[in-house]
Structure 1
Amino acid sequence: MRVFARSLSLSTAIMAALFAAQGRAQAPSADEAAFRDLYKQLVEINTTRSVGSCTQAAEAMQARLVAGGIPKSDTQVLVPPDRPKDGNLSAILRGSDKLAQPILLLAHIDVVEAKREDWERDPFKLVEEDGWFYARGSSDDKAMAASFTDNLIRYRKSGFVPKRSIKLALTCGEETPDTFNGVKWLLQAHPEALDAAFALNEGAGGELDKDGKHVALQIQAGEKVYQDFRLDASDVGGHSSRPTHNNPIARLAKGLEKLSAYQFPVAFNQATKGYYEAESKLLPPEIGAQMRAVLANPNDDAAIEKLWAVNPGWNSMLRTTCVVTEINGGHAPNALPQHVSANVNCRILPGVPIADVQKQITSVMGDDKITIKMVGDPGLQSPPPPLSEKIMEPVRKVSESMWPGAAIVPTMSTGATDGRFLNAAGVPTYGLSGMFHDAEGSRAHGLNERIRVKSLLDGRKFLYEVVKIYADAKD
Structure 2
Amino acid sequence: MLGRVLGAALAVGLAHTAVAAELRPDQVRFREVYKELVETNTSLSVGSCTEAAAKMGARLKAAGFTDSQLTYFSVPEHPKDGGLVAVLPGTSKTAKPMLLLGHLDVVEAKRADWTRDPFTLIEENGYFYGRGTADMKVIDATWVDMLVRFKEEKFQPKRTIKLALTCGEETISAFNGADWLAKNRRDLIDAEFALNEGGGGRADADGKVLTQGIQVGEKVVQQFRVETTNPGGHSSVPVRDNAIYQLSEALLKIRDYEFPLTMNDTTRAFFAKAGAGRTDATGKAMVAIAKDPTDKAAEAELNKDRAFHSMLRTTCVATLLDGGHAENALPQRAGANINCRMFPGSTMEATKAALEAAIGDPGVKLTPLQPIRGKSMPSPLDPKIMGPAEKIAAKYFPGVPVIPTMSTGASDAIYLAPVGIPTYGVPGFWSGPEGSGAHGLNEHMSVKSVYVGRDYLTDLVKAYANAG
Above 0.5 in TM-score?
yes
1:43 aligns with 2:49: no
Identify unmatched segments of 5+ residues in structure 2: 1-10
AA of the residue aligned to 1:194: I
Identify unmatched segments of 5+ residues in structure 1: 1-15
- Structure-to-structure mapping, 1:459-474, within 5 angstroms: 459-474=453-468
1:281 aligns with 2:281: no
Distance 1:177 1:137 in 2: 18
Distance 2:350 2:30 in 1: 49
> Equivalent residue for 1:450?
444
* Structure with bigger gyration radius: 1
Task: Give the counterpart of 1:148 among 143, 148, 151.
Answer: 143
AA of the residue aligned to 2:66: P
Distance 1:412 1:109 in 2: 23
TM-fit CA distance, 1:231: 1.5
1:170 aligns with 2:154: no
Any conservation in 1 of the 2:78–2:174 contact (CA below 8 Å)? no
> Equivalent residue for 1:11?
none
Task: Give the counterpart of 2:88 among 89, 93, 102.
Answer: 93
1:386 aligns with 2:377: no
Distance 2:466 2:324 in 1: 63
- Structure-to-structure mapping, 1:155-194, within 5 angstroms: 155-194=150-189
1:372 aligns with 2:337: no
- Structure-to-structure mapping, 1:16-415, within 5 angstroms: 23=18, 26-309=21-304, 311-415=305-409
SS in 2 for 1:32: helix
* Stretch moving more, 263-272 or 203-212: 203-212
AA of the residue aligned to 1:207: R
AA of the residue aligned to 2:147: L
Describe the superposition over 1:210-240 as per-residue Cα deviations: whole angstroms up to 9, x where unpaired.
Answer: 2222211100011111111111222212233
AA of the residue aligned to 1:465: D
Distance 1:241 1:304 in 2: 49
Describe the superposition over 1:287-309 as per-residue Cα deviations: whole angstroms up to 9, x where unpaired.
Answer: 20222233344344444343333
TM-fit CA distance, 1:394: 0.4
In structure 2, relative to structure 1, the CA distance for the partners of 1:458 and 1:288 (3 Å cut) is same
The Cα RMSD (Å) is: 2.0
TM-fit CA distance, 1:119: 1.1
Distance 1:177 1:192 in 2: 24
Any conservation in 2 of the 1:273–1:295 contact (CA below 8 Å)? yes
* Stretch moving more, 145-154 or 281-290: 281-290
TM-fit CA distance, 1:421: 0.6
> Equivalent residue for 1:430?
424
TM-fit CA distance, 1:284: 4.9
TM-fit CA distance, 1:56: 1.2
In structure 2, relative to structure 1, the CA distance for the partners of 1:178 and 1:301 (3 Å cut) is farther
AA of the residue aligned to 1:210: A
**Percent of aligned positions with the same letter in both sequences?**
46
In the superposition, the TM-score normalised over structure 2's length comes to 0.93
TM-fit CA distance, 1:423: 1.1
AA of the residue aligned to 1:72: D
TM-fit CA distance, 1:193: 2.4
AA of the residue aligned to 1:333: E
SS in 1 for 2:75: coil
Distance 1:427 1:148 in 2: 18
In structure 2, relative to structure 1, the CA distance for the partners of 1:24 and 1:117 (3 Å cut) is closer
SS in 1 for 2:71: strand
Distance 2:341 2:191 in 1: 27
Any conservation in 1 of the 2:278–2:284 contact (CA below 8 Å)? no
In the superposition, the TM-score normalised over structure 1's length comes to 0.92
Q: How many residues align?
A: 456
